[in-house]
Amino acid sequence: MIDNNLYYFECLHMQLFQYFVRFGKDAFVISPEQLRDRIKRFYIGGLKSYGKTDKP
């Protein structure tokens, strides 16, 4: 369901995780908090793998 640019889903957290990580900075999960934190940890892990540099 879409309501004023907010999207609501009824599915498993794993499905939401797999769907939203592909959008990177173009999507922000508001709720559930556990999913938002999991996505945040996913990207923090990527930063640690590649280092915190702006160079390609």
Mapped onto helix, strand or coil, the DSSP state of residue 32 is coil
Alpha carbon distance 36, 17 (integer Å): 9
- Tell me if the pTM is above 0.85: no
Q: Do residues 41 and 47 make contact, with C-beta atoms less than 8 angstroms apart?
A: no
How much is the pLDDT for 35?
92
pLDDT digits (tens, 9 = 90+) for 10-46: 999 899 999 999 998 898 888 889 999 999 999 899 8
Q: How far is CA 35 from the centre of its chain?
A: 8
Residue with tokens 């922000």: 28
